[in-house]
Every structure is written in C-alpha cells, then in structure tokens.
C-alpha cells in the first residue's frame, strides 16, 4: 500500500513554501495530516454536504461599491518604502542577480 | 505526411486607468524607480486590495467586444507562487469566474473572415519589474499593480498570419474602445504563444510548446515560423520525442526560440478565492451603460462605409485601420464633406503626408475642419483643384488657416469672362496654324488650347469657363 | 471603567504615566514593546488621556510591529492601521504593543518570539490566545482597554481565561486595514475591556466604513452605546445541547465545574425575563467545525504570509540567490508550529486535494452559517460557555475535546458579532460566558450582554498580576 503522506511529500511542500523543516517536525506534520484526513473523511460523509455552496466570505457584501477611478495618490516617499529593506541601491531594493 | 500548425495565443495588455487595479497609486509609466508606489503595491503587512471600477469596466468592454459570456458575480482569485518581482507572494487574478468566457470573433485575413474562439478573458495585476545588472538585480515596484487584461484563445489558429491579424485586430479594439493605448512600443502588450504541430486530418493535438513574453507582433510571427520549422525538422528526422512540453522564449539576437524550462510537472498555483475582495454582483444596468459606451468597431465600420457610402473596399480598409483615421473620416462626414471625396483626400494626400513624415492623424495640423475649408472653395469653383492641392501643403507648411492662405497667396480662380476672352483671343491669334488644323478636323487640338490657357494663367483659370469660351471662339 | 477614569482625569491624574509605570512593572511578559514616550496628543476628544495597548499585529507608525514573529522582529511600519488612527483621533494613547501567538496562529499565548504570556490569575496557567498580552494587560489592570484580533476565538477565549470582556463586532464593521492578516475571511478586529459598556464605547469609536478595506461597510446607523438599556424582557436565547452536556471523553473535573456554572448562570439569565432554550445540532456537523476551521485558516494563512520573505521588510536572509535569501529568511523566521500550519495550508490547496479539504470545509462553513442564521430568525442570540474549562496550566496535557475546542469559530464562519463576559470562577480561575447574535445585530447583542453582566456582577474585574 502506498502511503498517502510521505516525508518526501512534506519536504516538497515545504520547499515550495521556501523553508526547511526538521525531521521531527515532518513527523508531527505527518500525524497532523493523518488526523485531518480522518476528520475530512468524516466530513465527506455528512448528509447533503454537496448541496451546500462553497462559502468563501463570512457573508455576501453585494452592496459594496467598487473604487471610483477618478483620482490617484502621489507615490509614498521612497525613503519610507525602503526604510525596512536591508539591501538597497539608490531608489531600489537589491537582490542577487535574478536569472530565468 | 502533411503537418498542420495549431496555435493558441495569450495576450496580456495593460489597461488604461488613472490608478492601479488594486491600489490608489498612479497607473503611469515612470522612469524614476519606485515613484508611483504605495504600501499596497509593496505588500506591507495589513494592506488590502481596493478594486478599481474603471479597470473592471474596461475588462467588461473587451469581453463584450469579443462576444464573451460575462458572469453575474465578480470574483478574484489568488495565484500563489514566490518570485522576487511578486511582493505579496501571490498574484490577484481570476480563475474561478473570469470576466469573460466562451467568446468568438471573426478576423479578416486577406479576403477571408476567420473565426477565432476565446477561451477566457481575465483581469489581473502586473508584477514589479526587475532591472538586471552585472551581478545583481534591482526591484522597481512602479509596474506592480498595473491592471492587466489577459485574453486567452482556444488552440484554434492555423497560421502565423492569422495569429498576427488577430493580435492586430485586438489591439485595434483596445484602441477603439479606449480600454488601453495598446502600445507595443511602450511594452503595454506581451504575448505568450503556444505552438504545436499535428498531422493533417488527425484530431490529436501534438505536444505543445509555449513561447513566453514575446513583445511585438512581428516577433510573434517569427517565433511561430521558427517553431514550425524546428518542430517539423524534428518530426521529419524521426526525432519526434525531442519535442517536449516546455517553455521557451524568443531571442531577438539569434532570431530563434530558446528553452527556458522544461515542464516536468505543471506548477500548482494553489488558486483560491481572494477573501479580501467581496463577491460583487455585476449590475445589469451597469452592463447596459457600458455597452452604450462601446463605439462601432472596425469591421462594422468598414461594412458601413462600403454599403452606405459606396467606398471601395480598399479605401474603407485603409480608413478603419486605426480608430483615429476612422474618427477623422466620420468627422469629415459630419461637416458635410462628400464621403467619397473625404475618402480620396484621406487615402491619398493625407496618408501620403502622414507616412512621409511619420505622423499620427491625431497630431495632424490639418483637422477635418481645415480640410473642409479647402474642399468648400474647391467645390464652389473659387479655387481650382490644382490650387486646392497646393493649399493643402501650404496649410501644413505655414500652419495657418486655409481661408487666410487663399488670400495670402492670391489663390483665386480666374473666371472673369472678359479677361478670359482677352487671353484666349491672344492665344488663338498666336496659334493660327493650330486653329486651322482644328477647324480642318483635328479635334484633339482642343486640349492643346486649354493647356495653353492654363499655362498662361498659371492654372488659375476656371477650366469649365475656358472650354466654353474656346468653343465659341473656334466656331 | 472608562467613566471612572474620566473622573480621575478631571481631577488631574496622568493615566498615561500610571499605565506606563504598571506596564514596566509587568511580570506576565505581556509586552513586545512599551511605548515609553507615549503621551496625550489630543485633549478634546472622547477618549482623551485614556491609555490602551494594542496587539502586536496592528501596524503602528514608527513603532515596532512584529506580530510576535522572528520574521518581523525588526519591522517598523510607516503607516497606522485604520483602528490605530481612529483611536489617535479620539485622543486615546497607545502605551504598548502586546505579545500574541506568533502571527495570530495559536490559542495558547505561548508561541510568541518573546516567550509565553502568563495568566494574571495564576502564573502557572496560560492566558490563551492569540490576543494573549492584550487580555493579560487589561485583566491585570495596566490599561482599561486593548485592541485584539479574533480569527477563531482569539479575543473571546483568552478573555474568558483572563476574566475580562472580549468583543468582536460583525465582520466588516471595523476596518482590517493595517491588521496583519492570519485568515482574511475569518479575521475580525475587536476589543478587550472590563465591561460591556466600555467595549461598546471603544468599538463605537473604531468602527466604520473604511475606503481602504473593501469588506468594511457603513454602520453609521448602528449606535453601540445608546441601546444599553438593560431592557431584555422577552428576549430569546438558545444554547447548543451537544456542546453544553458533560459527556466529553476523558472529561476534566474543571470542565464539569465550568458546565455546572454555565447551567447555573442560565437560571440567572432566565430570571432577567430572557427565554433560554436548548437546541440540538447534528453532532457530526459540530465535530466538523474544528477541522473545517483548521483547514480554511491554514489555507488562507499560507498565502497571507507569503509576503514575509525578508526582501522588503524583516531580516534579510543569507544566500547566493534571491530565492536562497527568501528561503533562509523563512526557515529562520517562523517557528515549527507556523511551518506546520503553512505546510497543511499548502497541502489542502493543491489541485488534487482542494475539493476534499478546502471545498468541503467551506461547505461545512456554509452549513453551520445557514443553520445558525436560521436560528437567529427566532432567537436574539446564542449563549455558550466561552470555554469548556478555565485556563489550562502551562504544558498541561489536554484531553482531545479541549485540544480541538473551536466552537466559538461559528461566529467567525458567519461573521456574527460575539462577546465573552466574565461569569464566575472555577478553581479560583475566571471563566466566561459567550453570546453571539445575527450579523449587524450588535446593538441587541451588547444590550443582552450588558444585562447579563449586571446580574452576574463581575463588571470591572481586574487582578494585580505577577503574584
């Protein structure tokens, strides 16, 4: 039987999220996912669940109006924008050369 | 075996708005890095998207022009991936319910109308731009959050010419509706081109190769031709397997496509509905208002010009090439200029002049009003057609009003009977041999006399009157 | 409490100095930052001279804002959250930024990068979270009110554990602009106070439609303080039978006592003329709240916090490429718990899992929201124990039913206004009662809470911390 959750999968997920996890943590995530899966299995069996729509917001806010495009704001002072950045050059944030 | 190319296009175009799509920062190109940037554009913690109504409206206009189905509710999704030019770590785009789906338009290629089906149109935000140096890159957020509309066709295009005709047509619609300036020179349009080859008569699509970020239509054409050639050679030499699903880019220097990355497995962007943008019902009344704002589109105009104004198809085609030309033409008609006459002026004198000096019609000094002031005295016989042409250039040279220049240069047609009589009598007296010849039956001498009169009057004589008087005198 | 403080102000007391002194003396580890130079700027407004603290996930101009995460340990924003600005305009003075569970994710108050916050009633116990420091600071009398945020119960449960009032209004009544997001569709800004009236007053000051938050709405026709009449005759509340019965597996004695106290309190509420009825809800649906909440919150969090890369703010990671730098920043910036949540959030969003995990969770959310909304057609509110036990001890091994206790998230699912008020003691530790009403029915909710507060008489309760 192939296991649904493997260390390799967890490490792959972590690397797409741009961080490393320790082996101990991977073990914990595996347990948490097993636990969540069993709960989600139960949820799949709730009666009529498929009759319900997917709720993405607390409630519908149809009366909200869109922002009128009648003006724009001056840009923020670049010194403020870059005040928290550690590597900058002139008016920009510097990173090692991005290729690809 | 005969191979057939199958092309799908994704065209990204920056929309014309005052502010960005999810922030109040200016939507404006700026040479100075990080000049049109606020906290939302750089994703400082706690900032939230503020959807721009005009960007939605422009998108809806395009969806309408491409005969798409427009959803009842506006929904935006997050496309999650990390890249240094993406400050939030996700791009707000539309995946669940794009602003337009299942569209269809026809594109003129030569004399043919070719149908193209639109998979979807979605509104999204542009990324920051990276300025590359020798061993580092700098991030400029000016472009982050600029509204982008992506139009995705089905794989339904079968030649590079059709592909380019389609893109030109779209660019034209952008300009006609005012949804975008659609200026390729300013990098406002970027295309991804999907190219695959399939056997003629088969219904199995070949392996799809994506050429990304092609920034001009001529490069789209070249990239398709290059891919057809590359893939054909691989197939014909039995190396079919070497055509893999991959992403390539067009290289301007080598004039070829170059591999960027192989799609080992497609990236999972983990799309989900952005909770910060409420689901907003698209009001039917608003849709009606938007519809009314859409001007008549190029192909409709062409049809109208041919059928109602009896223009030759060629002339109509030239006039609708840009909205500005077409608007110029229609303004001429509003002023009362005869359609054919207006079309003649536009397609010959005006286009010739604009092309020669590389000008756009909307920066052209000779407005329809000024053109009218040239045509009006011509039609009244006050100036000759030769004078009218001269006047046309004088107006442009001197940048002055036609009526002022008519006086200034004494452009008055000579139609005083006495004066003409005098001139003609003198000419006939000086050309006795020719007069006798005429009377003896050499009727073609008549034009000679007219020419002499014109020469004598420097073209100012009213040709109708000249002919009348000559006929009388030659009896 | 605010009225009493105004009296002290008018007799010349400097409440800001007093609060700063208490904050510096804090033994609960409730503060990330104490704003030493805080002073009254606006003398003529409704909250002039009143000190408060804010959770460290509010953007405060020129003041360190870390959300208790190493990934933001040096971040100093250049703009104020809308609520911070509104309080400034109203004359209130922010004297400190309080410790929270890292980035809002967690319910213990032990996961912030500066360490665990201690419960003022018993330093061996937790405060709960994630608005841990904010609840501790109000409960220990440092300030009369605090700003918090509530994604699953992050104001209302620690309020219960600390014996204070915690109120989150209807979703969108208060702007989230400048609140560092955890799960945007569940996040609410709210207040922690020692009385319902104070909660109404402060929420009244910070509410309102904000052009910087599309999900905020105009509540100018809602006046939170004027309806505190105490008239509750013929009001109707319900409680959920399955939550309030003492048949949990491995049930703690403290839970038995908490439920007994709840039941006794229902009698006191009935004595006010309020009808309280028992409603039964499908156990499977109730059991689904925790996994559905966990799934939705983790999914939203993983993307909300993708801006934490150390390129624009936060410590710059080490590496030869931009990607390596982001990787290093995130590897060192997040605690293991946060990483686990992100991994799970990312897992449930994957194309092959989204239907079973996220979409089914969102369907559960809809089922619960519809069910409770329907009940609100006949009832003014839902009343429940704010927690099934008093604050657990640090490192206490909890039974499953407490580990997965998440029913207060019903109010986050549907955006319902919800308030916790202190309702008594179990083992000398405070516990609370929670009331939730229909969306935009905040006036009614607060009036009912006000009346219950009156009869339970734990108003203005504080305890000097650091025993």
Per-residue pLDDT, B265? 62
Residues of C in contact with B47 (CB under 8 A): 177-178, 212
B residues 140-199 lying closer than 8 A (beta carbon) to A: 140-141
Interface test with chain C among A58, A61, A84, by most C beta carbons within 10 Å: A58
pLDDT, tens digit (0-9, with 9 covering 90-100), for C229-262: 999 999 999 999 999 999 999 999 999 999 999 9
User: What residue has token string 């506006």?
Assistant: B74
Per-residue pLDDT, B1? 66
pLDDT, tens digit (0-9, with 9 covering 90-100), for B273-316: 999 999 999 999 999 999 999 999 998 999 999 999 999 999 99
Q: Phi-psi bin for C324: left (phi > 0), alpha (psi -120 to 50), beta?
A: alpha
pLDDT, tens digit (0-9, with 9 covering 90-100), for C136-180: 999 999 999 999 999 999 999 999 999 999 999 999 999 999 999
User: What residue has token string 């003409």?
Assistant: B420
Per-residue pLDDT, B245? 86
- Tell me the two tokens of residue C1: 């409490």
pLDDT, tens digit (0-9, with 9 covering 90-100), for B99-135: 999 999 999 998 899 999 999 999 999 999 999 999 9
Per the annotation, the verdict on C69 as an active-site residue is no
Whether the predicted pLDDT of C15 surpasses 90: yes
C residues 242-301 lying closer than 8 A (beta carbon) to B: 299-300
Report domain extents, chain B.
3-286, 296-408, 417-473
Q: What is the mean pLDDT of residues B424-438?
A: 88
Cα–Cα distance measured from residue B288 to residue B297, given in angstroms and rounded to the nearest whole number: 17
Between the alpha carbon of residue B241 and those of residues B6, B207, B223, B244, B245, the distances in Å are: 18, 9, 21, 7, 10
A residues 45-84 lying closer than 8 A (beta carbon) to B: 56-57, 60-62, 64-76, 78, 81-82
Cα–Cα distance measured from residue A19 to residue A21, given in angstroms and rounded to the nearest whole number: 7
Cα–Cα distance measured from residue C405 to residue B146, given in angstroms and rounded to the nearest whole number: 44
Q: What is the mean pLDDT of residues B249-259?
A: 91
* 8 A C-beta contact, residue B130 and residue B138: yes
Residues of A in contact with B139 (CB under 8 A): 92-95
Instruction: Label each residue of chain B as H, E or C.
Output: CCEEEEEEEEEEEECCCCECCCCCEECCCCCCCCCCCCCCCCCCCCCCCCCEHHHHHHHHHHHHHCCCECCCEECCEEEECCCCCCCCCEEEECCCCCCEEEEEEEEEECCEEEEEEEEEEEEEECCCEEEECCCEEEEEHHHCCCEEEEEEECCCECCHHHHHHHHHHHHHHHHHHCCCCCCCCCCCEEEEEEEEEEECCCCCCCCCEEEEEECCHHHHHHHHHHHHHHHHHHHHCCCHHHCCCEEEEEECCCCEEEEEEECCCCCCCCCEECCCCCCEECCHHHHHHHHHHCCCCHHHHHHHHHHHHCCCHHHHHHHHCCHHHHHHHHHHHHCCCCHHHHHHHHHHHHHHHHHHHCCCHHHCCCCHHHHHHHHHHHHCCCCCHHHHHHHHHHHHHHCCCHHHHHHHCCCCCECCHHHHHHHHHHHHHHCHHHHHHHHCCCCCHHHHHHHHHHHHCCCCECHHHHHHHHHHHCC
Cα–Cα distance measured from residue B253 to residue B262, given in angstroms and rounded to the nearest whole number: 22
Crossing angle of the two packed helices A7-16 and A23-44, in degrees rounded to 10: 100
Measure in Å the smallest separation between the Cα of B142 and chain A Cα atoms. Answer: 9
Whether the predicted pLDDT of B203 surpasses 70: yes
State whether A36 and C291 contact (CB < 8 Å).
yes
Per-residue pLDDT, C466? 46
Cis (ω within 30 of 0) for the bond into B272? no
- C partners (3+ CB pairs within 8 A) are A, B
A residues 60-99 lying closer than 8 A (beta carbon) to C: 61, 63-64, 67, 76, 80-81, 83-87, 93, 95-96, 98
Measure in Å the smallest separation between the Cα of A95 and chain B Cα atoms. Answer: 5
Per-residue pLDDT, B333? 95
Interface test with chain B among C97, C180, C302, C309, by most B beta carbons within 10 Å: C309
Cα–Cα distance measured from residue C339 to residue C69, given in angstroms and rounded to the nearest whole number: 12
Report domain extents, chain C.
1-467
- Tell me the two tokens of residue A2: 């192939």
Concatenated DSSP letters for C146-199? Answer: EEEEESSSTTHHHHHHHT-EEEE-STTSB--TTBPPS-TTT-EEEEEESSHHHH
Q: What is the mean pLDDT of residues B355-373?
A: 91
C320 touches chain A (CB under 8 A): yes
Q: A15 Cβ partners below 8 Å, 6+ apart?
A: none
Cα–Cα distance measured from residue C274 to residue C297, given in angstroms and rounded to the nearest whole number: 35
Cα–Cα distance measured from residue B418 to residue B406, given in angstroms and rounded to the nearest whole number: 23
- A partners (3+ CB pairs within 8 A) are B, C
Measure in Å the smallest separation between the Cα of A49 and chain B Cα atoms. Answer: 20
Pick from C78, C171, C311: CB nearest A58: C171
Cβ atoms within 10 Å of A53's Cβ, excluding its own: 11
Per-residue pLDDT, A72? 94
Active-site pick, C54, C131, C154, C257:
C154
Average pLDDT, chain B: 92
Question: What ipTM goes with this model?
Answer: 0.97
Cα–Cα distance measured from residue B130 to residue B127, given in angstroms and rounded to the nearest whole number: 9
B75 touches chain C (CB under 8 A): no
Measure in Å the smallest separation between the Cα of A94 and chain B Cα atoms. Answer: 5
Interface test with chain B among A72, A78, A83, A99, by most B beta carbons within 10 Å: A72
- Tell me the two tokens of residue B121: 């149109």
User: What residue has token string 């799949």?
Assistant: A44
Pick from C406, C452, C459: nearest CA to C433? C452
Cα–Cα distance measured from residue C278 to residue C378, given in angstroms and rounded to the nearest whole number: 13
Per the annotation, the verdict on C464 as an active-site residue is no
pLDDT, tens digit (0-9, with 9 covering 90-100), for B218-247: 999 999 999 999 999 998 898 888 888 888
Tell how far CA B113 is from the center of its chain.
18
Instruction: Give percent of chain C with pLDDT exceeding 70.
Output: 99
* 8 A C-beta contact, residue C301 and residue C152: no
**CATH number for domain C1-467, candidates 3.30.750.24, 1.10.10.10, 3.40.50.1820, 3.90.1300.10:** 3.90.1300.10
Whether the predicted pLDDT of B415 surpasses 80: no
Interface test with chain C among B55, B86, B270, by most C beta carbons within 10 Å: B270
* 8 A C-beta contact, residue C95 and residue C62: no
pLDDT, tens digit (0-9, with 9 covering 90-100), for C278-299: 999 999 999 999 999 999 999 9
C343 touches chain B (CB under 8 A): no
Cα–Cα distance measured from residue B415 to residue B423, given in angstroms and rounded to the nearest whole number: 12
State whether A49 and C315 contact (CB < 8 Å).
no
Instruction: Give percent of chain B with pLDDT exceeding 70.
Output: 99
Per-residue pLDDT, C456? 96
Average pLDDT, chain C: 96
Whether the predicted pLDDT of A1 surpasses 60: no
State whether A67 and B138 contact (CB < 8 Å).
no
Measure in Å the smallest separation between the Cα of B41 and chain A Cα atoms. Answer: 10
Whether the predicted pLDDT of B442 surpasses 90: no
Architecture of domain B417-473: Orthogonal Bundle (1.10)
Cα–Cα distance measured from residue B12 to residue B215, given in angstroms and rounded to the nearest whole number: 10
A2, HSE (Cβ side, Cα atoms, 13 Å): 3
Whether the predicted pLDDT of B264 surpasses 80: no
Residues of C in contact with B270 (CB under 8 A): 303, 346, 349-351, 354
Report domain extents, chain A.
7-51
Confidence of residue B26 (pLDDT cuts 50, 70, 90): very high
Per-residue pLDDT, B226? 96
A24 touches chain B (CB under 8 A): no
pLDDT, tens digit (0-9, with 9 covering 90-100), for A9-53: 999 999 999 999 999 999 999 999 999 999 999 999 999 999 999
* 8 A C-beta contact, residue C168 and residue C156: yes
Name the helix (H) or strand (E) containing C330. helix C322-333
Cβ atoms within 10 Å of B390's Cβ, excluding its own: 17
SS3 for C278? Answer: strand
Confidence of residue B385 (pLDDT cuts 50, 70, 90): confident
Instruction: Give percent of chain B with pLDDT exceeding 90.
Output: 69
Q: A67 Cβ partners below 8 Å, 6+ apart?
A: B19, B24, B50, B51, B52, B53, C211, C214
* 8 A C-beta contact, residue C259 and residue C385: yes
- Scored b (16 or more CB within 10 A) or e, B80-119 reads bebbbbbbbbbbbbbbbbbbbbebebebbbeeeebebebb
Q: What are phi and psi of C34, to 5 degrees?
A: -105, 125
Residues of A in contact with C292 (CB under 8 A): 43
Per-residue pLDDT, B346? 94
Active-site pick, C55, C86, C168, C235:
C55
Residue of chain A whose alpha carbon sits nearest to that of B272: A56
Per the annotation, the verdict on C154 as an active-site residue is yes
């Amino acid at each position: 039987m192939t296991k649904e959750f493997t260390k390799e999968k967890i490490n792959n997920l972590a690397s797409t999220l741009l961080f490393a996890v320790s082996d101990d943590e991977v073990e914990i995530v595996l347990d948490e996912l097993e636990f969540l899966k069993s709960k989600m299995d139960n949820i799949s069996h709730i009666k009529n669940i498929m009759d319900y729509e997917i709720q993405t917001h607390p409630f519908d806010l149809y009366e909200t109006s869109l922002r009128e495009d009648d003006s724009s704001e001056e840009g923020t002072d670049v010194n403020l924008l870059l005040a928290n950045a550690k590597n900058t050059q002139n008016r920009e944030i510097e990173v090692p050369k991005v290729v690809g | 075996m005969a191979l057939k190319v199958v092309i799908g296009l994704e065209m990204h175009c920056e929309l014309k708005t005052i502010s960005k799509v999810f922030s109040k920062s200016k939507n404006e190109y700026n040479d100075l890095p990080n000049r049109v940037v606020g906290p939302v554009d750089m994703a400082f913690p706690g900032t939230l998207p503020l959807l721009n109504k005009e960007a939605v409206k422009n998108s809806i206009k395009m969806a309408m022009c491409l005969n798409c189905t427009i959803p009842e509710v506006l929904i935006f999704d997050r496309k999650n991936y990390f890249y240094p030019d993406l400050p939030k770590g996700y791009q707000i785009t539309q995946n669940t319910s794009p602003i337009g789906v299942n569209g269809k338009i026809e594109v003129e290629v030569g004399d043919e109308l070719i149908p193209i089906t639109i998979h979807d149109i979605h509104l999204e935000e542009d990324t920051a731009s990276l300025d590359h140096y020798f061993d580092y890159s700098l991030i400029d957020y000016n472009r982050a959050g600029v509204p982008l509309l992506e139009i995705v066709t089905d794989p339904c295009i079968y030649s590079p010419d059709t592909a380019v005709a389609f893109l030109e047509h779209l660019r034209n619609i952008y300009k006609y509706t005012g949804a975008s300036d659609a200026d390729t020179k300013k990098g406002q349009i970027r295309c991804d081109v999907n190219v695959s080859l399939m056997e003629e008569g088969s219904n199995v699509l070949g392996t799809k190769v994506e050429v990304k970020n092609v920034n001009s239509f001529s490069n789209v054409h070249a990239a398709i031709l290059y891919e057809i050639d590359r893939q054909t050679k691989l197939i014909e030499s039995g190396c079919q397997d070497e055509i893999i699903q991959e992403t390539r880019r067009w290289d301007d220097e080598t004039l070829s496509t170059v591999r960027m990355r192989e799609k080992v497995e497609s990236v999972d962007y983990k799309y989900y509905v952005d909770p910060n943008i409420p689901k907003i019902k698209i009001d039917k009344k608003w849709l009606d208002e938007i519809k009314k704002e859409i001007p008549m589109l190029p192909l409709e105009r062409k049809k109208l010009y041919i059928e109602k104004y009896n223009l030759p198809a060629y002339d109509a085609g030239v006039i609708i090439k840009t909205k500005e030309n077409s608007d110029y033409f229609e303004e001429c008609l509003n002023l009362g200029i005869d359609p054919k006459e207006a079309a003649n002026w536009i397609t010959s004198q005006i286009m010739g002049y604009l092309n020669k000096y590389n000008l756009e019609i909307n920066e052209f000094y000779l407005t329809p009003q000024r053109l009218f002031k040239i045509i009006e005295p011509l039609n009244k016989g006050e100036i000759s057609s030769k004078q009218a042409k001269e006047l046309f250039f004088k107006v442009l040279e001197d940048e002055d009003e036609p009526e002022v220049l008519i006086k200034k240069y004494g452009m008055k047609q000579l139609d005083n009977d006495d004066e003409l009589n005098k001139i003609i009598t003198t000419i006939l007296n000086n050309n006795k041999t020719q007069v006798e010849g005429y009377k003896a039956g050499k009727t073609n001498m008549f034009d000679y006399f007219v020419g002499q009169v014109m020469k004598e009057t420097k073209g100012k004589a009213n040709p109708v009157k000249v002919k009348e008087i000559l006929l009388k005198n030659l009896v | 409490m605010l009225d009493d403080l105004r009296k002290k102000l008018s007799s010349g007391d400097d409440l800001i100095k007093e609060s700063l002194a208490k904050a510096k003396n804090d033994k609960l580890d409730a503060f990330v930052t104490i704003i030493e130079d805080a002073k009254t700027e606006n003398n003529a407004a409704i909250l002039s001279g009143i000190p408060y603290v804010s959770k460290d996930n509010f953007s405060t101009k020129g003041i360190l804002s870390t959300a208790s995460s190493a990934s933001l340990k040096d971040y100093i924003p250049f703009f104020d959250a809308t609520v911070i600005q509104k309080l400034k305009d109203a004359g209130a003075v922010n004297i400190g930024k309080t410790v929270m569970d890292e980035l809002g994710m967690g319910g213990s108050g032990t996961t912030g990068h500066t360490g665990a916050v201690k419960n003022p009633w018993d330093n061996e116990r937790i405060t709960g979270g994630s608005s841990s420091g904010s609840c501790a600071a109000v409960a220990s009398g440092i300030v009369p009110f605090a700003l918090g945020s509530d994604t699953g119960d992050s104001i209302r449960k620690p309020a219960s554990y600390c014996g204070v009032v915690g109120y989150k209004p209807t979703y969108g009544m208060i702007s989230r602009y400048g609140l560092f997001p955890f799960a945007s569709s569940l996040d609410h800004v709210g207040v922690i106070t020692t009385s319902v009236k104070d909660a109404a007053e402060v929420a009244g000051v910070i509410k309102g439609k904000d052009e910087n938050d599309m999900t905020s709405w105009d509540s100018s026709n809602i006046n939170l303080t004027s309806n505190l009449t105490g008239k509750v005759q013929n009001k109707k509340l319900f409680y959920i039978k399955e939550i309030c019965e003492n048949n949990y597996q491995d049930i703690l004695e403290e839970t038995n006592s908490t439920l007994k106290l709840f039941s006794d309190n229902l009698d006191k509420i009935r004595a006010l003329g309020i009808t309280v009825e028992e409603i039964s809800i499908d156990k499977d649906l109730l059991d689904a709240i925790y996994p559905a909440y966990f799934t939705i919150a983790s999914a939203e969090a993983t993307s909300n916090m993708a801006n934490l890369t150390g390129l624009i703010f936060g410590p710059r990671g080490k590496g030869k490429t931009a990607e390596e730098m982001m990787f290093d920043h995130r590897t060192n910036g997040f605690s293991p718990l946060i990483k686990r949540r992100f991994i799970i959030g990312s897992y449930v969003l994957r194309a092959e899992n989204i239907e079973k995990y996220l979409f089914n969770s969102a369907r559960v959310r809809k089922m619960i929201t519809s069910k409770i909304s329907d009940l609100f057609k006949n009832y003014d509110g839902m009343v429940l124990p704010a927690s099934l036990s008093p604050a657990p001890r640090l490192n206490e091994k909890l039974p499953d039913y407490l580990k997965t206790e998440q029913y207060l998230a019903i109010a986050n699912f549907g955006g319902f206004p919800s308030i916790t008020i202190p309702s008594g003691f179990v083992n000398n530790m405070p516990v609370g009662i929670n009331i939730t009403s229909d969306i935009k029915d905040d006036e009614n909710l607060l009036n009912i809470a006000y009346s219950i507060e009156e009869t339970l008489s734990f108003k203005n309760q504080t305890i000097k911390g650091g025993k």
